[in-house]
Amino acid sequence: MFAYVEDVSAWEPWQRDYRYGALYVFPPPGVIEPVDTLRARYDPVSAATCQAHISFSEPLPGPLRDESLDELAATCQGFAAFDVAYGPLRTFLPHPGVVYEIQPQDRLRALCDALHATSPFSGVVPKRGDVAFHMTIAELISVDRTSELVSELAGRVPQGVFRCQAVEYALPDAGFRFRRLALLPLGRGSG
């Protein structure tokens, strides 16, 4: 169904976990472009791998098959679309990086947990369950640069709200650049 990279030996060890992709929330047009501009300026290496996004799931442990994609889509249909606020900026020191704070964490966590309970994630032990959902501006920077950048950007970056209407499946190519391949729309459910 999807074309997976056969030889991932050139990838960094952590990148290999993403061989079969993962699920993300991508901001809509009008929001994604200014955040992509910040990413390109302050962390061009990360910006080159993926558009601005909220990392939403653990990496998939195996190829995503038609029936698995259907199960993920059905799970998303059980959740109503909701507003996502991005900003202000925050860090996760002592880990380097500058990110947008994202709310509502509880709605995002409920949807994420429901998706992780599906068969495509069978056997996956969530490693990031205690990490707050966020949208990264810069991650491949030093701790010192993290502090400088937070001060430099405070009050000078766009913040706002966008409607989360879908989760998306994205998969890296041989150069570890993520392509958005499947849209999983949220439904009218109350989940």
CB 47 within 8 A of CB 39: yes
pLDDT of 136 reads 96
pLDDT digits (tens, 9 = 90+) for 79-116: 999 999 999 999 988 889 999 999 999 999 999 999 99
Query: What pLDDT score was predicted for residue 129?
Result: 73
Q: Give the distance from CA 169 to its chain's centroid.
A: 10
User: Cα separation of 143 and 17, whole Å?
Assistant: 25
Q: What is the pLDDT of residue 131?
A: 85
Res 180: pLDDT: 97
Any idea what DSSP says for residue 121?
G
Q: Please give the residue range of the domain that contains residue 170.
A: 13-184
Q: What is the pLDDT of residues 12-37, one digit of tens each?
A: 999 999 999 999 999 999 999 999 99
Q: Give the count of domains, the chain.
A: 1
Check residues 22 and 155 and name the one with the higher pLDDT. 22
Q: 190 in a domain, yes or no?
A: no
Are 172 and 15 in contact, with CB atoms under 8 Å apart?
yes
Q: Supply the pLDDT for residue 130.
A: 78
Distance CA 49, CA 46 (A): 5
Q: Is 57 exposed, middle or buried (0-12, 13-18, 19+ CB in 10 A)?
A: buried
Which CATH number covers residue 37?
3.90.1140.10
Question: Residues 110-138: pLDDT tens digits?
Answer: 999 999 999 999 999 888 777 899 999 99
Distance CA 21, CA 79 (A): 22
Give 170's strand partners.
22, 180
Cis peptide, bond prior to residue 94, ω within 30 of zero: yes
Q: What confidence score (pLDDT) does residue 119 get?
A: 97
DSSP letter, residue 28: P
Mean pLDDT (whole number) for 34-55: 96
Determine, yes or no, domain membership for 130.
yes
Decide if 94 is inside a domain: yes
The answer to whether residue 8 sits within a structural domain is: no
Q: Is residue 163 part of a domain?
A: yes
What pLDDT sits at residue 125? 87
Where residue 140 falls among pLDDT bands split at 50, 70, 90? confident
What pLDDT shows up at residue 54? 97
Q: What pLDDT is stored for residue 159 in this prediction? A: 96
> In the structure, what pLDDT confidence band is assigned to residue 191 with cuts at 50, 70 and 90?
low
Res. 190 pLDDT band, cuts 50 70 90: low
Alpha helices in 53-135 (DSSP H): 66-77, 105-116
Whether residue 127 is contained in a domain is answered as yes
Three-state DSSP state, 168: strand
CA atoms within 13 A on the CB side of 162: 20
Inter-residue contact 168 to 1 (CB < 8 Å): no
| Residue 6 located in a structural domain | no
Q: How many of the other CB atoms lie within 10 Å of CB of 91?
A: 16
Percent above pLDDT 70 for the chain: 98
